[in-house]
Amino acid sequence: MEQDIFYWVTIFLIGFIGSFISGMVGIGGSIIKYPLLLYVPPILGFAAFTAHEVSGISAIQVFFATISGVWAYRNSGYLNRDLILYMGGSILLGSFIGGYGSTVMSEAVIHVVYGLLAALAAVMMFVPKKGVDDTPLDQVSFHRWLAAGLALLVGIGAGIVGAAGAFLLVPIMLVVLKIPTRMTIASSLAITFISSIGSTVGKVMTGQVLFVPALIMILASAFASPLGAKMGQKVNTKILQAILAVLIFATAVKMWVGIVA
């Protein structure tokens, strides 16, 4: 009984940590929770989740974490409607394709896809982003069809690993589309929520979700994501970019070490 309690507390803490950082830097949190769920339980002596189970739990949790994060930003003025509509619609389609198609993939392939996405995101986060925060929010513009096309590709890859793709969307929005940092963080949470609909439906339809661990992660999200979003509105944008860059880089390194080993 005591061991069971410790197990569920561990799952809750993984969800809490991932969701807090999710709300703060505008990601769904899978880039953090995926490796934590994969590696922490067996390190502590519990049964390991499979890659399919981890991606399924992550997909459900991201859905609820991003709802909480967007709600915290609802009156901030940082949500860009056009950006959300164009990228959200495309990533929804892509994430459903990836989430549904992942059932025919091996665990090794899912790990490699995740590692490639994380590596690409890490490289992009270290590209200089000079002047990205100089544009007034009411004058922000972007290439709409480029944004939609990139979101579709991100959605397919993210759906495969049960993520919503924000860890790759954020650097794309900062580096390619030149969206200011706080608008990127707020809008990416909304886009990530839309994306998570597709990946969640795909994972549930193919039986890749363990509902009890997912429920515990959802409860953690309800508390942690709004707290992280409020913190993110107060922290300097350069610090937010640095936190996200370090997280993505560390995760990419960890995943590739595991893949090679």
Residues spanned by the domain of 20: 2-260
Question: What is the pLDDT at residue 98?
Answer: 80
Question: What is the pLDDT at residue 1?
Answer: 58
Question: What is the pLDDT at residue 85?
Answer: 92
The answer to whether residues 98 and 202 touch, using CB atoms and an 8 Å cutoff, is: yes
Question: What is the pLDDT at residue 168?
Answer: 80
Question: What is the pLDDT at residue 86?
Answer: 92
Total domains in the chain come to 1
Cα–Cα distance between 219 and 242 in angstroms, integer?
A: 28
Other beta carbons within 10 angstroms of residue 259's beta carbon come to: 13
Helix (H, G, I), strand (E, B) or coil at 250: helix
The answer to whether residues 174 and 129 touch, using CB atoms and an 8 Å cutoff, is: yes
Task: From first to last of the 261 residues of the chain, give the pLDDT tens digit.
Answer: 556 788 888 899 988 888 888 778 776 666 677 778 888 888 888 888 887 788 788 778 778 778 877 888 888 888 999 999 999 889 888 877 887 777 777 777 777 777 787 788 778 877 777 777 778 888 888 889 999 999 888 888 777 766 657 778 888 888 888 898 888 888 988 888 887 777 777 778 878 778 888 889 888 888 888 888 888 888 887 788 788 788 777 767 776 777 776
Question: What is the pLDDT at residue 161?
Answer: 67
Other beta carbons within 10 angstroms of residue 168's beta carbon come to: 28
Question: What is the pLDDT at residue 87?
Answer: 92
pTM, whole model, 2 decimals?
A: 0.74
Question: What is the pLDDT at residue 147?
Answer: 92
Cα–Cα distance between 35 and 1 in angstroms, integer?
A: 26
Q: Which two tokens stand for residue 211?
A: 């509902």
Residue 124 one-letter amino acid: M
